Amino acid sequence: MSKVYICDHPLIQHKLTFIRDERTNTKDFRELVDEVATLMAYEITRNIPLEKMEVNTPVGPVQGRVISGRMLGVIPILRAGLGMVDGILKLLPAAKVGHIGLYRDPETLKPVEYYVKLPTDVQERELIVIDPMLATGGSAIAALDLLKRKNCTQIKLMCLIAAPEGIRAVQEAHPDVDIYIAAIDEKLDDHGYIVPGLGDAGDRLFGTK
C-alpha cells in the first residue's frame, strides 16, 4: 500500500489557510499556491539521493554532496495543476514538464481527457503528478493510468487538499504511488466538491466563473 505524507510544515499550513479563505483574490491565490508548491517540493525531495563532489573553498578542499543526476518530470493535471508548476521548478529547474488535460464531467464526475503532451523520455523519469485537488480521485487515477500505459514506473502524486474518498481510491488503484498532501479534509459534498476544501481550484486560479 502506498504511503500518504501530510506536509504539515507551519509555513504550508499558514499559506493554505489563506488559500482556502474565500476573500483571497485571484492574484493572491495564485501566488500562495505557487509558494506552497515550492514548500511541498522541498518536502517531496527530502529523500532524493546525493553523491559526493569535491570543491575548493577559498580556504581549501571540501567533500560536498550534490543531487545525483536524476531525471525528473513534473506532470500537471490541467488546468489547476498548472498553478503548482513554477513553484516546483524553482527548486527543480532541470525537470521536464508534461501536461495531461482532464476535466471532470459535472454530471458523472468522471474525468474526460482532452490533451496530453509528455516528454519523449517520460518512462525514464521520476515523475511528480500535481493537482491541487484530490476529490473522488478519478482525475488522478486517470492521469496515473495514462502514465503507466506509457511504461512510467516511478511516480509520486502531490496535491494541496484531499478528501478521504480520493485518497482511498488512488491507493486502491495505484498502491505503488505515494501521495503528498497539505491537508486531508472531511468529505465530498453531493457535487463532488471537497468540504471544506477551497472551492473550485481552477476557477480561483484563473479568475473564471
Our CB check for ligand URA shows the closer of 31 and 203 to be 203
Cell 493510468 sits on residue: 145
Question: 194 near 204, Cβ under 8 Å?
Answer: no
Our CB check for ligand URA shows the closer of 95 and 201 to be 201
Task: Decide if 204 is catalytic.
Answer: no
Question: 187 near 164, Cβ under 8 Å?
Answer: yes
CB of 73 to ligand URA, least distance (A): 23
Task: Decide if 108 is catalytic.
Answer: yes
Task: Decide if 203 is catalytic.
Answer: yes
What letter represents residue 86's amino acid? D
Cell of 146: 495514462
Is residue 76 close enough to count as binding ligand URA by CB under 6 A?
no
Is residue 194 close enough to count as binding ligand URA by CB under 6 A?
yes
CB of 87 to ligand URA, least distance (A): 18
Residue 116 touches which member of ligand PRP, ligand URA, none, C-beta under 5-8 Å by kind: none
Distance linking the first and last C-alpha atoms of the chain? 38
Q: What is the DSSP string of 79-121?
A: TGGGGGHHHHHTT-TT-EE-EEEEEE-TTT--EEEEEEE--TT
Radius of gyration of the chain (CA): 18
CB of 54 to ligand URA, least distance (A): 48
Residues 67-106 that bind ligand PRP (CB under 6 A): 77-80, 102-104
Q: Would you please indicate which residues are annotated as catalytic (active-site) residues?
A: 104, 108, 200, 203
